[in-house]
Amino acid sequence: MSIGTKIRKLRYQNNKMSQEELAYKVGIAQTSISNIEADKNIPDFLLMEKICNLFGVNLNYFLENNENYTFSQNDNNTMIRKIENLGNTFPEGILENIIRRITNLEKTLSKPSE
């Protein structure tokens, strides 16, 4: 199940919250929520944190069982730019840890299936 599908599922489980209401609560446009739920865009870390807090789930909820999701090179570049832009907001060492984990994930995802 994709991240977008999981967000849509959480909205419906939460009194069928509208995209507009979710967008308002996390401070973005409704069209952004629509694009995320349609898997056209990937939410950044700060938005994911707001969504997790709103629905009372942790980030692992969105990352588990996403084996069918693949990141394009454009997705990778976008995420890397966003992380680099956040560099000064992370405590020392955290950014390096995130980059190392992304690199390891990329290596894992690029391995051919056995």
The predicted structure's pLDDT at residue 88: 64
The predicted structure's pLDDT at residue 1: 81
Closest to 69 in 3D by CA, of 47, 48, 42, 34? 42
Counting beta carbons within 10 angstroms of the beta carbon of residue 17, is it exposed (0 to 12), middle (13 to 18) or buried (19 or more)?
middle
Q: 3-63: which CATH topology?
A: 434 Repressor (Amino-terminal Domain) (1.10.260)
The string of pLDDT tens digits covering residues 76-85 is 677 777 777 7
The string of pLDDT tens digits covering residues 48-64 is 999 999 999 888 888 77
The predicted structure's pLDDT at residue 114: 47
Decide if pLDDT at 104 tops 70.
yes
Decide if pLDDT at 34 tops 70.
yes
**Main-chain phi, psi angles of 43, to 5 degrees:** -65, 145
Would the pTM of this model clear 0.85, i.e. be above it? no
- Region 24-29: mean pLDDT is 96
The predicted structure's pLDDT at residue 2: 86
Decide if pLDDT at 10 tops 70.
yes
